[in-house]
Structure 1
Amino acid sequence: MALIACGQFSATNDVLANLKICRSLAARAAAAGAKALFLPEASDYISSSPAEGLTLLPQSTTLFLPGLCLAASTHSLSIIAGIHAPSSSPDLVRNTLVYISTTGLVSHSYNKLHLFDITLPSLTLRESASTEAGSSITPPIATPFGRLGLQICFDLRFPETARALVNQGAEILAYPSAFTVPTGRAHWEVLLRARAVEGQCYVVAAAQGGRHNEKRVSWGGAMVVSPWGEVLGRCKEGEEAGEPEICLAEVDLGLVHRVRVECPLRRRTDVYAEL
């Protein structure tokens, strides 16, 4: 059994202010006895435009990430956080998830595969205009609380990548996110619970929640889901989201094993090949 913390806050374009919040959440998680803290997608900053984002990127690299690493080592806490990272193009960034060990070192990272391009009556977002898509799945990471598979936000809508990670041994899937309000209200919880049930694994979804700027608001609702699809802990959602908070949950790898034994999912790959 291992206690983990799932965090939520509303990042802005103030990188140092965001770092202060994340370090506060790390202190709260450690004080509660958690072994790991999961932080949202884009914890370093959410900008009002791609151009502004590029100007903030150096602060993420030189200030935000080292600050998180210091928090991890100070509290002997694993930290899993979404950040922006340099890409192969000077006009783009990478939407990246990093795993920081209890010694304060970034040991693994993952670049978001599926980019979020959407047009709504009240909002247009084209992540591909500012972000370089990832090109591979990071194999599950051996951690003190289980084998962890890394995904980010819009990846949640693609069960194929979750299945690939589970097939490689993942016992926990991370989905740090910044869901919009309309999509969050409609699909956030049901998708998270579906990935947990399908994969017979824990799902940990740290989330952005509340207003970031005049243009953008996130749904919130950070949560931890068990391999049986039960919501073990959650943060506020919708209009109530915004204040920094954590929810706590116990990860029991024995439950992962029991669910997989008691409800075996035998795939008819011979039939699939014909489709």
Structure 2
Amino acid sequence: MAHNLAQCRVLVQKAAAIKAKALFLPEASDYVASSPIETISLAKSVTDSPFVLGLQDEAKKHKLAINVGVHEPAQGGKKVKNTLLWIDAEGKITQRYQKLHLFDVDIEGGPKLKESDSVERGNEIVPPFETAVGRLRFPEPSLRLHRQHAQLLTYPSAFTVPTGRAHWSTLLRARAIETQCYVLAAAQSGRHNEKRVSYGHSMIVGPDVYPEI
């Protein structure tokens, strides 16, 4: 987590240097563990997580809002929450979203991953909220969010490589077409451990469906 925080600090500094108004980081930016047991053992509350506290300090120092995915302990200690945080330019956590749709997949010859074994499902859809870059809403479900006048949809992700190759770009472009919103998708990339590799390919897709980045 110390290494990941150091990497994120560099990204914050680069974003601040070009006068960005917000930085969008991926799902599970604090860590990607090699087992459900390790996932649970590493989780810390946002009030005492060095990773989150470090990002709050960076946000305040650089006057830069940060959208970041982290793990939090769930009640009972048997699972974690997969949480997306909005840290405002004052370094305060002002919005949070707990992942609703968990990733359970078993593909023959491909990935086998059951997120629900270690992650507690969220149960709330929070309405869009105002930011310096537009009216933002966390990921699910996009059409309902569009009806609530969301302008930006953010999909912080850690996609597996086979599902990423098959679905990543198509899903993001479909959400942009359906909602006529901008879609911001920050994605983990590369090998995390002996079991997990992420697809990457972060992108921003505009309502005209062509990737901006």
Q: Same fold (TM over 0.5)?
A: yes
Look up the SS of the partner of 1:109 in the other structure: strand
Question: 1:49: which partner in 2?
Answer: 35
Pick from 182, 186, 199: which aligns with 1:206? 186
Match of 1:137 among 106, 113, 125: 125
Q: Which has the larger radius of gyration?
A: 1
Partner of 1:29: 15
Identify which of 3, 16, 25 aligns with 2:2. 16
Q: CA deviation at 1:123?
A: 2.4
SS of alignment partner, residue 172 of structure 2: helix
Percent of aligned pairs with the same residue? Answer: 51
Map 1:219-238 → 2, pairs under 5 A: 219-233=199-213
Q: Deviations over 1:59-118 (max 9, x none)?
A: 864201101111111111110000001212311000000000000000000000000000
Q: Secondary structure at the match of 2:204?
A: strand
The answer to which structure has the higher helix fraction is 1
Q: Does 1:165 align with 2:152?
A: no
Q: Answer with 117-126 or 199-208: which moved more.
A: 117-126
Rounded to whole Å, the distance in 2 between the matches of 1:59 and 1:110 is 14
Q: Does 1:124 align with 2:112?
A: yes
Q: 1:90 is matched with which residue: 77, 94, 119?
A: 77
Q: CA RMSD in A?
A: 1.2
* 8 Å Cα contact 2:80-2:120 kept in structure 1: yes
What is the total number of aligned residue pairs between the two structures? Answer: 211
Moved more, 138-147 or 104-113: 138-147
Task: Determine the C-alpha separation between the residues in 2 that align with 1:122 and 1:184.
Answer: 12
In the alignment, structure 1 segments of 5+ residues that lack a partner are: 1-14, 156-160, 234-275
For the residues of structure 2 that align with 1:81 and 1:229, how far apart are their CA atoms? 24
Shift of 1:58: 2.6
**Residue 216 in structure 1 maps to residue 204 in structure 2:** no
In the alignment, does 2:168 pair up with 1:188? yes
Q: Secondary structure at the match of 1:69?
A: helix
| Alpha-carbon displacement from aligned partner over 1:125-159 (angstroms, at most 9, x marks no partner) | 000000000001111111011000102xxx5xxxx
Q: AA paired with 2:131? A: T
| Residue equivalent to 1:113 | 100
Amino acid at match of 1:76: K
2:154 matches 1:174? yes
**For residues 29 and 193 of structure 2, what CA distance do their matches in structure 1 show?**
15
* Residue of structure 2 in register with 1:242 after alignment: none
Instruction: Give SS of 1:207's match.
Output: coil
How far, CA to CA, are the matches of 1:116 and 1:89 in structure 2?
Answer: 21
Alignment of 1:72-91 (within 5 A): 72-91=59-78
Distance 2:155 2:95 in 1: 15
TM-score by length of 1: 0.75
Deviations 1:158-206 (A, max 9, x none): xxx1011111110000000011111111110111011011100100000
| Runs of at least 5 residues in structure 2 that lack an aligned partner in the other structure | none
Amino acid at match of 2:16: A
Q: What's the TM-score once normalised by structure 2's chain length?
A: 0.96
How many Å separate the matches in 2 of 1:62 and 1:184? 30
